Amino acid sequence: MMTPPNASETALTLTLAPEDRLYEGKAKIIYKTPDPQVLLAYFKDDATAFNAQKKGAIAAKGEMNCQIASHLFRYLENQAIATHFIEQVTPTVMKVQTVAIIPLEVVVRNRAAGSLCKQTGLELGTVLPFPLVEFYLKNDALGDPLLTPERLTLLNLATPEELATLRGLALQINSLLTHFFQDCGITLVDFKLEFGRDTTGKILLADEISPDTCRLWNQAETDPQRRVMDKDRFRHDLGEIAAAYAQVMQRVLAQTV
C-alpha cells in the first residue's frame, strides 16, 4: 500500500505519547522524538508565581505563549541570534533543538520592577541608565537566588568565556526585543532568558519568551495597573489576564519578521 511521503514523520511529530514525556516543568512539558537532537515543547495553561507558591491557570495561555514565543524566536533567528527554535507544529507545540540547559536565569532590566524595586528601593518604572544584566541560579528549591559575580565563578556552571557570551547575547536580544515591542506600542520593562549548549558546545537561546517571562507595559495606558500586559496581572490579581496576553499576541503576530 502506498504511504504518503510524510505521513509517518507527521504522525510522529504530532503525537505526544505519555511514554515520550521527558520532563514536566511549571509551564511546559518536554517530549522526546525519534531524533535525539529534537524535542517537542508542549505549552500548558498552568500559571505559577512567587516560586510556585501561587498556582492557577490562564485560559488558552499555552496556545498564546507558544504563538508569541514562536514568532519572537523567528524574529531573533532572522536577526542572526542562534535559538533552539525549529518550528511551531501545532498551536501549543513547538519543535526545538535539544540542548543541555545552563541552570542560570539571565535577566535583563530596562526599568525597575519586581525584585529590583524590593531589593534596592528604586521606584517602580524608573528608567535604568543602562540595561542591567543579572544572573540567577535556576533552582526552585533554593528560590532562584541572585548570584554575585564571585558566586557565579564559584559555582562554575559556565566558563568565564561562556558567561561573557551569555551577557553579550542577552544585551543583543534586549536591544532587538526592545525595538520589536516598541513597534507594538509596548515597553519591554524586563525579561528572563535561558540558554543551553548543543552537542558541539554552541550556545543557543532556549526555553521561551512570552508574557510569562517578560514584563510588558502597554504604552497607550499610564495607569500602573491597567498598563500591565504580562504575568504580573496573575501575580497581583489584576484580572483580565487572558485578555492582556491575547492583546500581546495580536500585536506581536501583526509584526512582519
Give the residues lining the site for ligand ADP (CB under 6 A).
25-28, 30, 39, 84, 96-99, 101, 194, 196, 206-207
104 versus 227: smaller Cβ distance to Mg ion: 104
The DSSP secondary-structure symbol of 27 reads: S
**Binding partner of 95, given Mg ion, ligand ADP, none, CB within 5-8 angstroms per partner class:** none
Considering beta carbons, is residue 193 or 218 the nearer one to Mg ion? 193
Query: Which is nearest to 102 in space by CA: 175, 177, 171, 169?
Result: 169
Q: Of 27 and 107, which CB lies nearer to Mg ion in the complex structure?
A: 27
- Of the candidate spans 22-30, 84-92, 93-101, 104-112, the one that interacts with Mg ion by CB under 5 A turns out to be 22-30
Q: CB nearer to Mg ion: give 25 or 160.
A: 25
In the complex, least distance from residue 236 CB atom to ligand ADP, rounded to whole angstroms: 20
Alpha helices in 184-240 (DSSP H): 232-235
Helix (H, G, I), strand (E, B), or coil: what is residue 61? helix
Q: Which does 58 bind (CB under 5 to 8 A by kind): ligand ADP, Mg ion, none?
A: none
Residue 31, classed as helix, strand or coil, is strand
27 belongs to the binding site for Mg ion (CB under 5 A): yes
Which one, 105 or 174, has the nearer CB to Mg ion? 105
Residue 216 — left, alpha, or beta (φ > 0 → left; ψ -120 to 50 → alpha)?
beta
Q: 58 — phi, psi (to 5°)?
A: -120, 120
Which residue type is seen at 152? Answer: L
CA distance 188 to 177: 7
Q: Which residue is nearest to ligand ADP (CB)?
A: 25
Of ligand ADP, Mg ion, none, which one does residue 13 interact with (CB within 5 to 8 Å by kind)? Answer: none
Q: Which amino acid is at 95?
A: K
83 interacts with, out of Mg ion, ligand ADP, none, CB within 5 to 8 A per kind: none
With 0-12 CB in 10 A as exposed, 13-18 as middle and 19+ as buried, what is 6?
exposed
Strand ranges in 79-159 using DSSP code E only, listed in sequence order: 85-90, 93-97, 100-101, 104-111, 127-137
CB of 101 to ligand ADP, least distance (A): 4
Chain residues binding Mg ion by CB under 5 A are: 27
